[in-house]
Chains A and B, each alone.
Chain A
Amino acid sequence: MSSASYSQLTLNGLWKNNAALVQLLGLCPLLVVTASTVNALGLAAATLFVLVVSNTTVSVIRSVVSDTIRLPVFVMIIAAAVTVTELLMQAYSYELYQILGIFLPLITTNCIILGRADAFARKNPVPAALYDGFIMGVGFGAALLLLGAIRELLGTGALFADMQLMFGEGAQHWRWDIFNVDYPFLVAILPPGAFLVTGCLIAVKNSIDTTLERRAKVQAEAPVTGSKRVRVTGKVS
């Protein structure tokens, strides 16, 4: 566990143990916020930041904190990181802050963060923990973005609308109208659409995995690092 190589961490975070598509953690914000790309990007950035900060801090204090009090301490660290992020976003990206609303403070309850703190960061040196937080955040963010883009495209026929909320006025022209219909595929932006698209993404990922596996005829696999949680989807190894 302690000698997890960085390439393994990368593979785990982005694909094999992807927080959103394999561990199915953090679904609540995932499903609600991803109605458009800009919202997804905002939440992804905030979650990534919190993950890196909490993983790093937890790793720094790992030798000081005993097992009995580790969870309350982790929760305090995460809550503090989230509150700081929220304040910063409110100060420097007010409109996005308004859009993300309640889902910003709710990052605290995102299981990915406590999960990585407890399963990885407290047993690993600082650089590895930092990298794990980063790559897990990127994996989660990539799933968010993909979901946001697909739903925005299906639901409104355009991509990257309202990007100026994050990148300033210059990004106003990033909006890319791909098709124009009088009656957009509304269900894609509504909550049921979130479930449908997420389900399809998981199915696509699983089918890619199966194909790859069949092609490789299953070589001896490296032990799975990271979460001890029960896996809901994906291959249990």
Chain B
Amino acid sequence: MKWLASIGLSGFLLALFAAVTSIAIGWTYLSTKSQIDLEVRRAEARQLLEIFPADTHDNEMVDDTFTIDAETSLLGIRVARQGYRVRLNDEVIGVILPTTARDGYSGDIRALVGIRRDGTVAGIRVVAHRETPGLGDKVDIRKSDWITDFNQRSLDDPTPPGWNVKKDGGVFDQFTGATVTPRAVILATRRALEYANLHTASLFETGADSA
């Protein structure tokens, strides 16, 4: 029965190594968890603060969230995502809505759209995309300030037909060599504004304690 002993020994050694490596991973996981949570939150907060800078409000937007269901029409999000409320003196002065443009050049473009109570755009940030480097990726604030063209715009400025690239009769610039990407972002923004318009009551009229 020598072979049995040898199998037993091998099995034991394998189990031992599995246990030791699992412990190593588990220990690292536990000891980095709080730091990782902090980093994730900080990255999220940084994005929100780019849309509504710290001097415009007095609440922690990261903590003041509401959930928007997946497949909500006009927003295009594929899974349930969080929207954020922006408050000043306990009054909701704006919201940040998650939106997904499904008609990007290569896959979904996810963005956060900040909308003020009066229906104007506070700012937009593209948070995830796979558009062509050098062409479509100019929707990213790190590559180009094109996205700031939306600031202060609303559904009255321009009127809906104007919410398109210049090539299609709109007022927004397309990029040289890339029309699909900016068009997708423009239309997604317009839909987000329409969503906010339709849901003004539930988005903005929330009392201070119902968040």
List A residues at the B interface (Cβ < 8 Å).
35, 61, 64-66, 68-69, 72-73, 76-77, 79-80, 83-84, 87-88, 90-92, 94-95, 98, 155-156, 184, 186, 189-190
Contacts and interface: CB of A to CB of B under 8 A. Distances in A.
Nearest to A92: B35
B32 A90 contact: yes
A83 B32 contact: no
7 contacts: A61-B17, A68-B10, A69-B13, A80-B22, A155-B133, A186-B134, A189-B134
A153 to B, nearest CB: 14
Contacts of A189: 133-134
Task: Describe B's contact surface by its main secondary structure.
Answer: helix
Given A77-B21, A88-B32, A94 B39 contact: yes
Interface size class of B (residues with CB under 8 A): 20 to 34
B32 A87 contact: yes
A90 B133 contact: no
A186 B13 contact: no
Given A84-B25, A155-B134, A186-B133, A91 B14 contact: no
A63 to B, nearest CB: 12
Highest count of chain B CB atoms <10 Å: which of A66, A77, A80, A88: A80
A79 B29 CA distance: 14
Contact of A66 (B10, B29, B39): B10
Given A66-B9, A80-B25, A190-B132, 9 more contacts: A35-B133, A64-B13, A69-B10, A69-B14, A73-B14, A77-B17, A88-B28, A92-B35, A190-B133
